[in-house]
Structure 1
Amino acid sequence: MELMDYLNQHFLSREQLIQAAQISRRQLLSYQEEGLMPKPSYQLESHLHCNSYFGPYRQEQSCEYYAKGYCSWIAVIQEKRHLAAVFQNFHDRYKARVAQLHDLGFRSGNPKFSAEISAHIETEWGHFIQGIYGLCTRSGLPEDIAAKELATTEIQALLEHKHLNPEQRQRLNLFVNLLDKSSALFAPHERVKSSRHRLVDRLRREFDLKTQSPACREHAGISSSLSVNTS
């Protein structure tokens, strides 16, 4: 039951999502068919077998789970309506978060966060619509996606060095903490294979990195309660 506990705590079922967003199941499917709304992050196929005084009973059911941040994303879809405008919202929010992180000291020399950022965001949009980022980020929204991708890119670049000097270790610690705040916890059966295990948990042990205090996280602008701009 660990999987169900995780999903029920950190995600919304399809029924919970449509109720919270005040839309119909048909509207949700329509948004997905139009390429506006991400696919579910998890799909469960359940086969129930029950025995009682009245005899055996079998039931099959399918459940979908979505990132909790998708309630606000549906609001974006309802406001913008058209694919180009919805994508532009994603693009602008992703780019703004990269710029914000740059100003806060989370800088990257990788061109996908500067000269090539528009092409990079188009690729990210594809992953977003497939439901991938609903699974591996805290909110599933552009802000967490940008933070996760920036942190992952810089951590991997630092790990290419055979030995890290004190400045590089400090930089590694900075980006590991950023990844920690933007990355999902992952379902129990996924954790050993997850980016969180490889790039947060394992690196903290290997390099004796320190977890940031809440006060430091707020100062660094990596609070988990990101403001959401739907403009």
Structure 2
Amino acid sequence: MSALDLYLKKHYLNKAQFAAACNCTATEIDTLTQAQLLPAPSYVVTKNARIFSAVFGEMDAAGTDAGEYFHPANTVWYNKAQAAIAAHGDQAAQVFRQNFMQEFADAITELNATLWHVQDSFTSDGTAISAGLQTRADFAWQHFLMGTFSLCVANPVSAAAIARKEILQEKLGALTDHGNKLIYSSAEAKDLLPLVDAYAQAAMLFSPAEYPRCSRKRLVDDLRPHLLAAIAA
């Protein structure tokens, strides 16, 4: 059993387990995914020991059980899909998409006011830039369907939770040159540490196959020691 296998078994459900958690069949999971009413699996491990990640592509997966792996939080999206189907029938997928994108846009609007100025979507006085906000919502929707957020967001139970992780990462990246800046004043470090902690809570741990290239390594595990050193200096 590999470290990757242990990670997937700890943090994800294979398709049979996910279907059981949703009290449905694996066929229904496939149908909802194809209808754009459920995110695709975040990881697919093949029988020839390769893993396909929604973010990082194909990698080695020796010692890892084959299967499709879903974040447990996707049970929430399954329930939302069922509610949309019950209420809207053939229009369920369209309503599901509209609801996700509206919630995401509303969350970005709130985060722009409280956490970080989202320059491509709002002017300096907070007026929305419709084209920029729409582009962000479209991008989020596509990556939601791909299973990206089920890979990188610790608890992707809502579009608002997804938006918060994205803006935390955007702010932290901007203030640290995406983790490349190494020297900080004590004051800078004290301001940044709570942001690092918030991002660490919002972001997934990432699998051993992805960790060397992931944002968590750059913006949490590599960055925090430099900030602590600046405070101690």
Distance 1:15 1:144, change over 3 A: same
Q: 1:68 matched to which residue of 2? A: 72
Alpha-carbon RMSD across the aligned residues, in angstroms, is: 2.7
Instruction: State the identity as a percent.
Output: 24
Distance 1:86 1:209, change over 3 A: farther
In 2: Cα distance, 1:109 partner to 1:42 partner = 30
Does the alignment pair 1:151 with 2:151?
A: no
Check the 8 A contact 1:90/1:125 in 2, yes or no.
yes
Quick one: which amino acid aligns to residue 196 of structure 2?
V
Q: 2:120 matched to which residue of 1? A: 111
Gaps of 5+ in 2: 50-64, 86-91, 123-127
Q: How much does 1:206 deviate?
A: 1.9
In 2: Cα distance, 1:167 partner to 1:89 partner = 41
Q: 2:104 matched to which residue of 1? A: 94
Indicate the larger mover: 164-173 or 144-153: 164-173
Q: Deviations over 1:6-49 (max 9, x none)?
A: 1111111111111111122221111111122111111112369x
Secondary structure in structure 2 of the residue aligned to 1:37: coil
Q: How much does 1:207 deviate?
A: 2.0
Q: 2:151 matched to which residue of 1? A: 135
In 1: Cα distance, 2:191 partner to 2:134 partner = 26
Q: How much does 1:167 deviate?
A: 5.9
Gaps of 5+ in 1: 49-60, 211-231
Higher strand content, 1 or 2 = 1
In 1: Cα distance, 2:68 partner to 2:94 partner = 27
In 1: Cα distance, 2:40 partner to 2:138 partner = 17
Q: 2:59 matched to which residue of 1? A: none
Quick one: which amino acid aligns to residue 159 of structure 1?
T
In 2: Cα distance, 1:145 partner to 1:167 partner = 29
TM-score of the superposed pair, with normalisation by structure 2:
0.74
In 1: Cα distance, 2:184 partner to 2:117 partner = 17
Does the alignment pair 1:191 with 2:211?
A: yes
Secondary structure in structure 1 of the residue aligned to 2:155: coil
Check the 8 A contact 1:173/1:209 in 2, yes or no.
no
Quick one: which amino acid aligns to residue 80 of structure 1?
A
